[in-house]
Amino acid sequence: MEKLNRLQSGIEGLDALLKGGLVSGASYIIQGRPGSGKTILANQLGFHHARNGGRVLVATLLAESHDRLFQFLSTLSFFDASRVGAEIQFVSAFDTLENEGLDEVVKLLRREISRQRATVMVVDGLLNARSKADSPIDTKKFISELQGHAAFAGCTVLFLTSSRLDDGSPEHTMVDGVIEMGEELFGTRSVRRIQLRKTRGSGALTGLHECEINDDGLVVYPRLESLYGRPSAPDSADLTRIASGIGSLDGILGGGLHSSSVTLVMGPSGIGKTTLGLKFLSESTADAPGLHFGFYESPQRLRLKRPIPGHRYPGDGRQWRTDHRLAAHYRRSAGRAGCAIAAPGRGKGHQAPVHRQLERHDPRLQQPGADHRFLQRTDERTACQGRHGVCHVGDA
Ligand SMILES: Nc1ncnc2c1ncn2[C@@H]1O[C@H](COP(=O)(O)OP(=O)(O)OP(=O)(O)O)[C@@H](O)[C@H]1O
Ligand SMILES: [Mg+2]
C-alpha cells in the first residue's frame, strides 16, 4: 500500500486533523464567511512552508492591495517580511481578471508557478473568479487547468472563497479537499470552528473542531475523543491503591484510590475540592508525576492554597503547563471510573441526624461556623454507599 507524501501546515492541531498534513500536489478549497480566518490559515501555512525550504506563490483575485494585506499580516508572529519577494511571492491577478478574463488569469498563474518554482500556491478570492465565469463549466475549466499545471509542477494549491459552496458545486467535485471555517454563537460566547468536509485519498478527523486566532495565527484544537478515540497505550488498570494525600480519607477508602481510576470530587463553592485535589497532587514524585489542569486558577493563585506548610508543592521548580491538550493525557491514563466522592455541605435534610451525632462526639464541631463537611462515597467495586466521617479544611 502506497503512502501519499504530506505537506505539513505548521498550524498546531490542523495536521492532526489531516492525519499528517495536506496531501502534496493536491488542491484544496478553504471556505468560510468573511473574517473566518482563511487568509490567515493560508499565509501561515505559506510562511511555514517557506521557512522549511519550500517556495510559495500567493495570488490574489481581490481588489484589496498587498500593502493592506501585509499591514494586517505583520501583526501576526509568523509573518516574515524578509521572505516576501523571495521564497514567498505575492501576485495580484485582479486587473487581469477584470480586464482580460479567466483564461488570462490561468496563463498568468501558470507562468508565475514556473517562474517562482512554487511548491505551494494560494489563490485568494475564488468567488471573484466564479463571478467572472459565464457558466459552471467555465469555473470547472479554470480550476482544472490550474490544478493540472500545479500538479505537474508538484505544487499544492489552496483556493480561498468566502462563499459557502454546496457539496455538489463544480468546485467541490474537482478539488481533493474542502476545509470549512466558521464561527458560532453559544449564548453570548463566540466560538471558531473548523471542519474537514472532504479529504480525498486520506483519512481525517471529521466533525467540528474548535479553533482560535491569536497573535501567532490559527490554532486548532482537535476534539479529544476523536484524537484519542483509540488509546495509544494499553489500559494499565490494576488493583493497587494510591494515597489520596489525606491519611484519614485513605482509611475510609480502604487504602486509597484505585490506580488508573477516575474520581469526581464535587460540592458547593468553598467546600475544599481544590484543597483535596492539591493534597492528592502533593503525593506526586519525579517517578509518578502529577498534573494539574485548571480552567480558572493560575499557578500563582494555587500556590496560595498550598495545603501543607513546608511541604514541597507539586509544580514547584517544575514547569506548569496550561495547554488544554494536557487533558488528553489525563484521559488516556485514566481508564475507569472507580469511585466518586461528594461533599454536599452541611445540614442537607437526610444528613442532619448523622451530623448531630458527630457533633456530640467532637466538641469542635459544636462551635458556630465550624468548618466541617460530610463525605459521601460511592464505590462501584464494593457497591457500598454511606457517609464516612467529618473532614476539616485547615492548615494540615
Ligand atoms: N492578533 C489577532 N488576535 C485574534 N484574532 C485576530 C488577530 N488577527 C486577526 N484576527 C481575527 O482574524 C480575522 C481575520 O481573518 P482573515 O482575514 O484570515 O479572514 P478571511 O476568512 O480571510 O476573511 P475575508 O473573507 O474577509 O478575506 C479577524 O476578523 C479577526 O477576528
Ligand atoms: Mg481573506
Cα angle value 278/279/280 (rounded, 5°): 90
In angstroms, the CA 197 to CA 28 distance is 11
pLDDT interval class at 391 (50, 70, 90)? low
Distance CA 291, CA 22 (A): 33
In this predicted structure, what is the pLDDT of residue 362?
Answer: 45
Note the ligand closest to the C-alpha atom of 79: 1
CA distance 115 to 147: 17
H or E element that contains 303: helix 299-304
Grade residue 395 by pLDDT with cuts at 50, 70 and 90. Answer: low
Mean pLDDT of 44-72: 96
User: Given CA atoms 204, 205, 210, 216 in this order, what sign does their dihedral have?
Assistant: negative
Q: Taking Cα atoms as reference points, which of 130, 60, 128, 116 lies closest to residue 93?
A: 60
Summarize the confidence of residues 260-269 as an average pLDDT: 87
Expressed in angstroms and rounded, the spacing between residue 72 Cα and the centre of ligand 1 is: 9
| The pLDDT of residue 392 | 57
Whole-model pTM? 0.71
- Residue 66, pLDDT > 90, answer yes
- Per-residue confidence (pLDDT) for residue 317, from 0 to 100: 42
> Which is more confidently placed, 116 or 225?
116
Q: Taking residues 114-120, what's their average pLDDT?
A: 97
Confidence of residue 196 (pLDDT cuts 50, 70, 90): very high
| Residue 174 grid cell | 474537482
HSE-CB at 360 with a 13 A cutoff on CA atoms is 5
Higher pLDDT, 383 or 290: 290
The helix-helix angle for 102-116 and 136-152 (nearest 10°) equals: 10
Query: Rounded to the nearest whole angstrom, what is the distance from the C-alpha of residue 269 to the centroid of ligand 2?
Result: 45
The ligand 1 atom nearest the CA atom of 37: 18
Q: Which residues pair with 189 in a beta bridge?
A: 186
- Concatenating the DSSP letter of every residue in 316-373 gives TTS-----TTHHHHHHHH--EEEEEEE---TT-GGGHHHHHHHHHH-GGGGSTT---E
Q: Which domains does the chain have, with CATH numbers?
A: 6-227 (3.40.50.300), 241-391 (no CATH)
Q: Which residue CA neighbors atom 9 of ligand 1 most closely?
A: 213
Contacts of 194 (CB under 8 A, 6+ apart): 14, 17, 179, 180, 181, 182, 208, 209, 210, 211, 220
The angle at the Cα of 95, spanning 93 to 96, to the nearest 5 degrees, equals 65
Ligand nearest the Cα atom of residue 30: 1
pLDDT score at 387: 46
pLDDT of residue 321: 35
Measured from CB, residues less than 6 Å from any atom of ligand 1 are 32, 34-40, 75, 162, 213-215
Least confident of 23-37, 161-175, 186-200, 300-314: 300-314
Q: Which of 31, 36, 159, 161 gets mutated to test ligand 1 (max ligand atoms within 8 A of its CB)? A: 36
pLDDT at 339 over 70: no
Tell me which residue has its CA closest to atom 3 in ligand 1: 214
- The H-assigned helical ranges of 52-204 are 66-73, 94-100, 102-116, 126-132, 136-152, 170-174
CA of 84 to the centre of ligand 2 (A): 18
pLDDT more than 70, % of the chain? 76
Q: What is the mean pLDDT of the chain?
A: 79
Residue 93's pLDDT is: 96
d(CA 203, CA 49): 22
pLDDT for 289: 82
Predicted pLDDT at 394: 57
Q: What is the pLDDT of residue 22?
A: 96
Which cell is 325 given? 491538550
Report strand pairing: 257-258 vs 208-214.
Answer: unpaired
